[in-house]
Amino acid sequence: MSTTHGEPGNALREADLDEADLRDVLRERRQLINVAYRLLGSLADAEDVVQETYARWYAMSAERRAAIASPGAWLTRVASRVCLDLLGSARARRERYVGEWIPEPLPDRTEWLDGRSGGAAVDPADRVTLDESVNMAFLVVLESMTPAERVAFILHDVFHYPFAEVAEIVGRSPAACRQLASSARRRIRARRAPGAPSAAQRTDVVRDFKQAWEAKDIGALIGLLDPEVTTIADGGGIASAEPRPVEGDQRVAGVFVDIAERAPDLTILPRTVNGQPGLVALQGDELVVVLAIEVVGERITHIWAMRNPEKLRLWTD
């Protein structure tokens, strides 16, 4: 005998459909987090974007959701549009930011902890894939792009979306999106330094920098720094930090020696930061800074020091 709407048979089928729908869309969470982090440079903002995207999905009726042939494509399109809107207002927000703004640093997967739950391991679905497109130098270049350039470049060159789909998100023609991505590539090439070292070479340079910093050996530090090295610190007005970039090997070396002298109880540890060798420093049990380090040849060219505790929650046990 057939059942009518509201009877147990129909209710069971609807429950099965809802469960299948939930599985399908949650399977896309990691992809959405990866896209949004690269577009925004902030995992906290990326999580908000993913939450908003899912809210829009479930605001639709079950019939409308069922009519969407590719939920993953729909979710990515919506998340990218939300990111595009946020990027448009980000510059104004960052003008009000206290001090320098740098992207939120990410630890290695094995070191990724969730400060919100007492140091428990984060769900793998929340993890960002650590590759060249999330190293700090790359993210900093992305910050120099227009919102449309950034979206077109990330979606096409990093995630391999065709320009026809990118055009729907950006609201421009495929040809215009192709030009945006091309312009973004030129920015990347202009910033990319020749003679990229091997992973082992980068690790060795960062290890030697750590030892020289601990020894307060200003001569050894200068020997490891490029003459035009730049250090940028982000305290967000919450933690003390240099308000402007520090440039030049002698000045940067002097800053690190001064830190070591003022904080003799500092513990410096090697860590992976956005997929590259980096360092963290602790005072007692408190993590006080994460350093993302760019090495070119055998010298350090850039150091990004994250002091803002709001951007360090994944590092905090």
Instruction: Give the start-to-end residue ranges of the domains of the chain.
Output: 1-96, 131-192, 199-315
Identify the pLDDT of residue 89: 85
Q: Which residues does 176 contact at the CB level (< 8 Å), separation at least 6?
A: 167, 170
Identify the pLDDT of residue 21: 64
- Pairing mode of beta strands 225-234, 299-306: parallel
3-state secondary structure of 245: coil
Identify the pLDDT of residue 122: 52
Contact, 100 vs 243, CB < 8 A?
A: yes
Among 151, 161, 153, CA closest to 181 = 153
d(CA 231, CA 244): 9
Contact, 99 vs 243, CB < 8 A?
A: yes
Fold agreement between 131-192 and 199-315 = no
The residue with greater pLDDT, 25 or 227, is: 227
Q: How confident is residue 316, by pLDDT bands cut at 50, 70 and 90? A: confident
Overall average pLDDT of the 70-82 stretch: 94
d(CA 273, CA 194): 21
For 123-174, what is each residue's pLDDT tens digit?
545 578 878 889 999 999 999 999 999 999 999 999 999 999 999 999 999 9
CATH of 131-192, one of 3.30.300.130, 3.30.160.60, 1.10.10.10, 1.10.1240.10: 1.10.10.10
Predicted confidence (pLDDT) at residue 14 exceeds the cutoff of 80: no
Identify the pLDDT of residue 112: 56
Task: Name residue, tokens 């410096």.
Answer: 268
For 15-56, what is each residue's pLDDT tens digit?
444 666 667 777 889 999 999 999 999 999 999 999 999 999
The residue with greater pLDDT, 145 or 116, is: 145
Identify the pLDDT of residue 19: 66
For 268-299, what is each residue's pLDDT tens digit?
999 999 999 999 999 998 999 999 999 998 99
3-state secondary structure of 276: strand
Q: How far apart are the first and last CA of the chain?
A: 58
Query: Which long-range contacts (C-beta less than 8 Å, at least 24 apart) are formed by 131-135?
Result: 131/275, 132/275, 133/38, 133/158, 134/37, 134/38, 134/106, 134/274, 134/275, 135/274, 135/275, 135/276, 135/292, 135/294
For 216-225, what is each residue's pLDDT tens digit?
999 999 999 9
Identify the pLDDT of residue 317: 56
| Residue 261 phi, psi dihedral angles, 5° rounding | -70, -35
Identify the pLDDT of residue 197: 84
In this prediction the pTM is 0.86
For 228-273, what is each residue's pLDDT tens digit?
999 999 999 999 999 899 999 999 999 999 999 999 999 999 999 9
- Pairing mode of beta strands 225-234, 246-247: antiparallel
Identify the pLDDT of residue 88: 85
Does the domain formed by 199-315 have CATH 3.30.830.10?
Answer: no
Among 76, 77, 63, 52, CA closest to 21 = 63
d(CA 279, CA 259): 14
73 forms beta bridges with none
